[in-house]
């Protein structure tokens, strides 16, 4: 499937970062610095402490949303993110398991991308409080291009009841 990016030179990308192993705050900071080398960091949410999601991981996560402007295309950008995760010790062994760093692309401009290796908007974001709470911090009125609802509306309707709170060092 061909991706129509409207011949834009600079793309606005919304990401969610998270991890629950090691020095979580330091790993978030390191990931943010590495991501910043892929473009211009425009905005960042506070950091949130979130319950492990999916019934596999054991420890609480730290999560943060970022907005970045980049000139890279989506697949090339994804490859860079996967390399950052790998460099930070990410091992893809157990789905929803413990991890040092997970970086997901939530939105790419206002387009929908449906490829085997990349689906944007992220298909499960509306069901995950640990994604929506950080997004509320920076883009509450952003409209999901598939659901036609704002982040605020998605959070109000979110079926996930897991605990999400502001990380004390981020308040």
- Spans of all domains in the chain: 11-170
Q: Identify whether 23 is a catalytic site residue.
A: no
Active site residue 90: yes
Distance CA 164, CA 134 (A): 9
Among residues 102, 129, 137, 160, which one is catalytic?
102
Q: What is the mean pLDDT of the segment spanning 43-61?
A: 84
Catalytic residue among 24, 99, 128, 129: 99
Average pLDDT over residues 58-67: 92
104 is catalytic: yes
CA-wise closest residue to 106 among 91, 85, 124: 124
Taking only the tens place, the pLDDT of each residue in 101-120 is 999 999 999 999 999 999 99
Spelled out in words, what is the top-level CATH class assigned to the domain 11-170?
A: alpha beta
69, 72, 94: which is closest to 13 by C-alpha?
69
99: three-class secondary structure by DSSP: coil
Packing angle of the helix pair 74-87, 24-36 (nearest 10 deg): 150
Active-site choice (23, 24, 46, 90): 90
- Checking if the pLDDT of 147 tops 70, the result is yes
129 pLDDT tier (thresholds 50, 70, 90):
very high
Asked if pLDDT for residue 95 goes beyond 60, the answer is no
Q: What does the angle CA 89 – CA 69 – CA 121 come to, to the nearest 5 degrees?
A: 70
């Amino acid at each position: 499937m061909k991706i129509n990016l409207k011949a834009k030179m600079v793309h606005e990308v919304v990401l969610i970062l998270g991890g629950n192993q090691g020095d979580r705050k330091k790993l978030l900071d390191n990931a943010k610095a590495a991501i910043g080398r892929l473009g211009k960091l425009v905005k960042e949410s506070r950091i949130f402490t979130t319950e492990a999601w999916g019934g596999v991981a054991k420890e609480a996560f730290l999560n943060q949303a970022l907005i970045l402007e980049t000139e890279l295309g989506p697949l090339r950008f994804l490859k860079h993110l996967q390399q950052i995760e790998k460099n930070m010790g990410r091992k893809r062994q157990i789905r929803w398991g413990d991890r040092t760093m997970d970086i997901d692309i939530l939105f790419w401009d206002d387009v929908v991308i449906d490829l085997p290796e990349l689906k944007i908007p992220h298909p499960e974001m509306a069901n995950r409080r640990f994604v929506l709470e950080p997004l509320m911090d920076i883009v509450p009125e952003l409209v999901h291009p598939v659901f036609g609802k704002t982040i605020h509306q998605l959070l109000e309707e979110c079926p996930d009841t897991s605990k999400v709170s502001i990380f004390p060092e981020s308040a």
